[in-house]
Structure 1
Amino acid sequence: MTHHTTQSPQFFLTAPSACPYLEGQQERKVFTHLLGDRAPELNDLLTQGGFRRSQNIAYRPACETCRACVSVRILVDEFKPTRNMKRVLSRNSDLIGTAKAPETSTEQYSLFRAYLDRRHKSGGMSDMSVFDYSMMIEDTHVDTTVIEYRRRGPDSFITGEGDGELIAVALTDRMSDGLSMVYSFYNPEMEDRSLGTFMILDHINRARSAGLPHIYLGYWVNGSPKMSYKVRFEPQEHLGPRGWDRFVPENTR
């Protein structure tokens, strides 16, 4: 089946539902479809305008009484890891990330389920089946890769790939001005490795090597503890009414 996009995409608005980040708030989203030959170009424009991708849909918050969700992107060329981030890189120096086509595997889904069951048991994704997971990874019309992280093996210096068990996975879109981290997950038994932080640091290195200026992290939700980690990757820009502005932490204002 061939999909065709119109010159101007059509946008739709969801009905209100309970906010998963802030208690007592209602969320609504505006969304459109990413289909056809123009999907990569449209994904670029919408991501730069504060949208996120999920399968072949681009969406952004359109809440009536709240503006807590703020789009965040890291400034790759200026980024310097903190002392703690350097320790995270050192702790995970035995891992290699290999970029692959957006295809699923039983091993990926097993890790995904273990991650959800430990970290997000009551979240909106907790009941995702293997079919749902396959759609999340494979239903894409943009430049998408799956990066699999494994330990270095005896042949890694030849193959450039890791060996052994799958430890972490990142679903990533490449755009004209950066990398967008769509979703990531990891072995929940390895909390001491700070794998979420490691994958962001690895993406910063990948973007720098590719000459891409930004890492798009999605939304920082002011007041949500589960989103607080995003503002640790400085310098960064936040999308506001005047466009992308450099973020200045409150303790330095």
Structure 2
Amino acid sequence: MSPTPGIPICLILILICYQAAALHKTICDDMCHCHDNEVDCSAQLGDLHDLHELTANIPNDTDTLDVSSNQIEFIGDAFYHLPVLQKLNVANNKIATQYGLPSSLTGLYGQNNKLTDIFGMFNNTTNLEIVDLTNNQISSIQNGTFFNCGRLVELTLSGNPLTQLYDGAFTGLSHLLKLYLRDVHLKSLHKESLKGLPRVLWEFVIRAPYLCYIEPGLFDFTTLSFSSISSDCLRNLSGRIFSAANNSYVGSIHIEFTPLQEISQNAFDGISSFFWTRPYKVFM
């Protein structure tokens, strides 16, 4: 009895359909929770396995993506082609190399990874508003790193072994309101290092145990609502800190230098509203 002619054709069609389905399989099918345009692949969800890499397709209409608390070491361009992605959380992974970011992105949360260099990473991110790269391995910020981040309002680089801010490191941040540099390794702060910051800033916080020198005229702000400067090394403030003359407003400034021994009489000249300082040890 000859085989039924239609059977091989059916099998071929089934195989083709199976292969097509596999090609269109997304990350939502077996490893992540997806709702509307939000994709949650965080390992904090108890029923998920830790991700080591992103091999499955991410839906193109994803606007919020969370792959935090996994074991991811490399991303590459997995996110670059997501046209409407706005919020990306890659915190608490092992990412050591740069990854592509789409121009639609407004918020990047990349705390607790192993990034060492971010120069060139933000060339395409014209819509970014918040960047948090706390606790990575970034040692320097080069001129032009944030050149295309004109909408950024909050930047956190705390917990990095930052030893150098190149001249113009913050060029392009024309709308920045909050800058956090807690627990960095800077030994000095110079005017050119802060070049590019807007003259109106809400918060500037730096905690640098090895900070031993602040260049006079460092802060060229007309408005600074809150500033906290802390070091275990700085012993004197020579010359005026704020270079903007007679039109500056400082809502509150905390100066917390354990070994501080001298503050020059004109250190805070030009400040029209100066609420309080809190040095540990001051001898005029």
TM tier relative to shorter chain: under 0.3
TM value normalised by structure 2: 0.21
Q: Which has the higher contact order (CA 8 A, sep 6+)?
A: 1
Report which of the two has the higher share of strand: 1
Flag the structure with larger Rg.
2
